[in-house]
A and B are shown apart, each in its own frame.
Chain A
Amino acid sequence: MSQYLLLWLLLFFSAEACAELKAQWNQGKAGISLRINLSETLTEQQKKLLYSGFPTFSHLEVRWLDGDIRRSLVFISECTVKYDLWEEKFQLLHFLELRKESSLQSFQQYQDLCLLADIRSQSNLIHLARQGARLEVRLDISQVSTEFAQDVRSWLIQQQSGVMRGLFSHMLGDLKLSESVATEVLAPPLAQDQEKRLERTDAKGANHG
């Protein structure tokens, strides 16, 4: 009986592992891209924040990983949404650099817009297509914008007047301003024929450029 239980546990955790984040190559109308969808990794607390009724900031970034060293940025996306308690739907307030107020039809639309890393940069794609790579994917969901986080820090600094100095060495170090998930994902190399297609696209782009 205990063996069956052990086997069931192993299968369960393997299934959990399979449900982990994946990077998948995608052939769309606009060309080849590498997609990482973070919808499944959203934690309960992050969902709670999104439904809090206050403007909520989503910051998604993907970086190369070389050993344990984080390298250059491959993808970044930022958006702000607010759940309207009375209308029971999401409003998009900002997307990337743009102020873009509009209603979202569903939570799924928010996920497609803000939780999907769609890597299209040719220089990154060619490198990824040849060798594959380990990537770090980070999603921060917060009620406090990056700009305000800086203001909080400044305000805390102002409280360290000379007279009370020494008081603060015990605190103020680790404000938790966002609910974050950071995961590693293995991007597989692209099949050879598709890789050649990608290189041709890049060469055309270079000629046109």
Chain B
Amino acid sequence: MPKVLSLLTLLGALAGSGQAAEKRLLLEKVEVTGSSRLPSAFLERELHLVPGSSPSEQELGDDRNRLLATGLFQSVQFFLQKGQTPGQAVLRIELMDDPGVFGSWAWGGALNLTQDQNASENIGGEFNPLSARMQLISRNLFNSLHRASSAVDYDGQGILRGFHVAYGFPRFSEESVQFDARMEAADAQARYLDVLGFGSRGQAYWTFDQNQQTSIQYGLAIYVNNRGSRYALAGFPRALTGPKIGIHSENRLLGFRTSEGYSYSASTILTTRGLNNMGYEVEGAWTESLWGRSLLTAQVQGLTVGWESLSYRASLRWEQALPILDAAADPEIYLQYTAGGDRFKDLHYNGREARLGLRFHSAGLIADIALSFRSFPEKLRETLDQELTQ
């Protein structure tokens, strides 16, 4: 008997909570203040918050959380007031823009100036040692959450040594899936460590979230070595093209200062020419806080095509925040050591770089000034010259 009573009580409580969750408001008016990054019409379309609608409290809470998760706002607060018509409510949404980006399209930019000291004479001799890399991003193109990023990397003579362009569909309505595309190239002679097996890469894929950290990715990848051109890694296959599938897991927030945690990913590029011609990529990173506001990040990347070729890069980076300016400017110094190598049949390259830099972030702009000591594979130039004359 007591069991039956407690079951009835439990059922009653569940029914009661169901009623409470279903309690709905009738909206007389919706006001949005504090930001112009998302126009009211867009919010109405995406969140369905229009006069006359009757969302539940739970739905309004979800809407607030979705706005927070756009990354455009530092703060999102919802307020209810009694409307002029009895039984109706006015919803006021107070937004505060994230000051890490500027303008209604949420722009951000970065400028890196690097003074190079090349140890490899036959490569470094002709280059002006000062190089500049500029990046521009937008998190909210057309005020509708389209994402894009582009960067160019010039040396002191004005020669383009690398670039990338990337684009991502808006991620707002469908929260568990996103689509991104990216094209990039790097000069293997001058930016050896920026190249992993192939000088030029294009890829576009969908990312499906499996849980809070892990996602499955699939799409198309085109990795190319343009023989005879600067965007080539000599000896490696000319092209690797095919569907790409992979797994990616990350629990670090990659802000100006990366949070503690780890990431790993593994993927394969499928071809119809057998396992020996498929591409396999792995990447892992780990970030740990040390004393004060000091961070240590270790990262490794590897790519193989079949079993005969291997390209790998590994880096260790130490960052220390400097308490010399206010928090808005966020200055820090860093020291990074990167080493990498490539093997393909009888070819074998090695390169390394030590970099000391100062960087700070203010009003959407990142400035990075660095001194770099590089040693790049001398055999790379000879091989490229040979290929060019053949």
The reply on A154 being an interface residue by CB < 8 A is yes
Chain B's nearest CB lies how many Å from the CB of A155?
Answer: 5
Contacts of B89 in A (CB 8 A): 53, 85
Are B248 and A171 neighbours in the complex by a CB distance under 8 Å? no
Whether A165 contacts B254 in the complex (CB less than 8 A), given A148-B65, A152-B68, A171-B108, comes out as yes
The reply on A49 being an interface residue by CB < 8 A is yes
Chain B's nearest CB lies how many Å from the CB of A53?
Answer: 3
**Residue A143 contacts which of B64, B137, B251 (CB distance < 8 angstroms)?**
B64
B interface residues with partner A (beta carbon < 8 Å): 57, 60-61, 64-65, 68-69, 71-72, 74-75, 77-82, 89, 96, 98, 100-101, 106, 108, 110, 135, 137, 139, 147, 149, 151, 166, 168, 171, 175, 178, 180-182, 203-205, 207, 209, 212-213, 215, 217, 248, 250-257, 265, 283, 361, 364, 366
Contacts of B364 in A (CB 8 A): 170
The reply on A17 being an interface residue by CB < 8 A is no
**Residue A153 contacts which of B101, B215, B253, B254 (CB distance < 8 angstroms)?**
B253
Chain B's nearest CB lies how many Å from the CB of A85?
Answer: 6
Whether A54 contacts B61 in the complex (CB less than 8 A), given A171-B108, A173-B257, comes out as yes
Q: How many positions in chain A have a CB within 8 Å of any CB in the partner chain? A: 38
Q: Is the interface of B mostly helix, strand, loop or mixed?
A: strand
Are A161 and B207 neighbours in the complex by a CB distance under 8 Å? yes
Chain A's nearest CB lies how many Å from the CB of B44?
Answer: 20
B-facing residues in A154-186 (Cβ within 8 Å): 154-177
Chain A's nearest CB lies how many Å from the CB of B88?
Answer: 11
Are B80 and A53 neighbours in the complex by a CB distance under 8 Å? yes
A interface residues with partner B (beta carbon < 8 Å): 48-49, 52-55, 85-86, 143-144, 148, 151-177
**Residue B77 contacts which of A52, A85, A154, A157 (CB distance < 8 angstroms)?**
A52
A170 to B109, CA, bound (A): 8
Residue contacts A-B, CB under 8 angstroms, 28 given: A52-B77, A53-B79, A55-B61, A85-B82, A154-B213, A156-B69, A157-B212, A157-B250, A158-B213, A159-B171, A159-B178, A161-B178, A161-B180, A161-B217, A163-B205, A164-B149, A167-B149, A168-B71, A170-B110, A171-B100, A171-B101, A171-B108, A171-B255, A173-B253, A173-B255, A173-B256, A174-B98, A176-B74
